[in-house]
Amino acid sequence: MVYILFVLGLLGLFFGGEYLVRGAANVARAYRISPMVIGLTIVGFGTSTPELLVSLNAALNGAPAIAVGNVLGSNIANVLLILGVTALVYPVMIDARRIWRDLTFMILGVALLWLMLLGDGLSRIESVVLVAALAGFLLSSFLNGKEEEEADPEGLMPVWKAALITLGGLVVLMVGARLLVDSSTQIARSFGISEAVIGLTVVAVGTSLPELATSVIAAWRRHSEIAVGNVIGSNIFNVLGILGITGLVLPITDIDPRFLREDMPWVMGTGLLLVLFAAVLKGVPRWAGGVLLAAYALYVALMI
C-alpha cells in the first residue's frame, strides 16, 4: 500500500503541476497579464502553501523559530535545487530587463529580514512591515504586468474554466506532495535509514516539491517565465508573507545564531547568483543547472 501511495504521489505531482501551469497560462492570456506576473503571484504563492502551513503550525506549537529555518531552507532549495533540476530538463530563459523589479524586491526582502533578525527576532511591528512590503510587491506587479497585445480569442479558454483548472491543479499538487513525503518517509524507515537523514532529505525537500514539479513542467512546456516567476515569487512570499504572517501570530524570538552565521549568507548568495545568471547569461543553461545542483549538494553536506 505504501508503494501504491508513492506512485499516486508522483502522479499527483505530475498532473497537478501540468494543470496548474496550463490554467495559469490561460488566466494570463485572458487578462493580458504577463505570464511572469502569474508565476510570481498565483503560482509562486500557491506552491508556497506547504511552507506557510509548516511555519504557522510551528508558531502555534510554541516553536516559531522553526519557521525561520523552514523559510531559509526553502529559499535556498528554490534557487539551487529547483532551478538546477529545471535547467537540466530544459534551459531556462530569463529576461533581466523585464524582471529587474522582482529580483530587486527579492534581494531587498532578504536584506530587510536579515537586518530584523540581527535585532534578536521578529516583533509584531516588524511583521506588519514585512506584510506591508508584500502588499506593495503585489500592487507593483499587477500595475506593471499588463501585456500590450490583445490575446487571440481563438483557442482561448474561458476564464472561469482556466481559474478552476489552476485551483484544481494546485490542490492535486499539494495532495500529491503529501502522499509522496509520507510514503517516502515510511519506505526510508523500512530500510533502516535514520530519522536525521530522513529529516534532511525527504521532509526538507518535501515542502519544495510543488515548486519543483511546477517549474519543471513549466520549462518543459516552454513557459520559462512561469518557471522563473514561480521561484522568485515563492522566495518573496516566503520572506515577506510567511514570516510576516507567522510573526503576527506569534513574535519570533531567540533566533538560533546559526541562522545568521550560516543560512542567511547562503540565502543572500543564492539570490545574488540568480541575479548574476539573469544579467550575464540571460537565463540558466544546462551547465549552470549542474553548478546549482552541485552548490546545493555542498550546502546539504555542510549542514549535516
200 — pLDDT class (breaks 50, 70, 90): very low
Least confident of 98-107, 197-206, 211-220, 287-296: 197-206
Note every long-range contact of 288-292, with CB atoms under 8 Å and residues 24 or more positions apart, other chains counting: 288/87, 289/83, 289/84, 289/85, 289/86, 289/87, 289/88, 289/91, 289/92, 290/84, 290/88, 291/84, 292/79, 292/80, 292/81, 292/83, 292/84, 292/87
The whole model's pTM is what? 0.80
Mean predicted confidence (pLDDT) in 54-79: 79
Average pLDDT over the chain, rounded to an integer = 81
- Could you say which DSSP state residue 140 is in? H
Task: Please determine, for residue 82, whether its predicted confidence score (pLDDT) is greater than 70.
Answer: yes
For the segment 15-28, the average pLDDT, to the nearest whole number, is: 75
The pLDDT score that the predictor gives to residue 272 is: 96
Cα separation, 112 vs 126, in Å, equals 10
Residue 176 pLDDT: 77
**pLDDT band of 286, cuts 50, 70, 90:** very high
DSSP helix/strand/coil, 146: strand
Name the more confident of 260 and 35: 260
Short-list 286, 236, 222, CA closest to 35: 222
pLDDT, tens digit, 9 for 90 and up, residues 99-123: 888 899 999 999 999 999 888 788 8
Percent of the chain with pLDDT over 90: 25
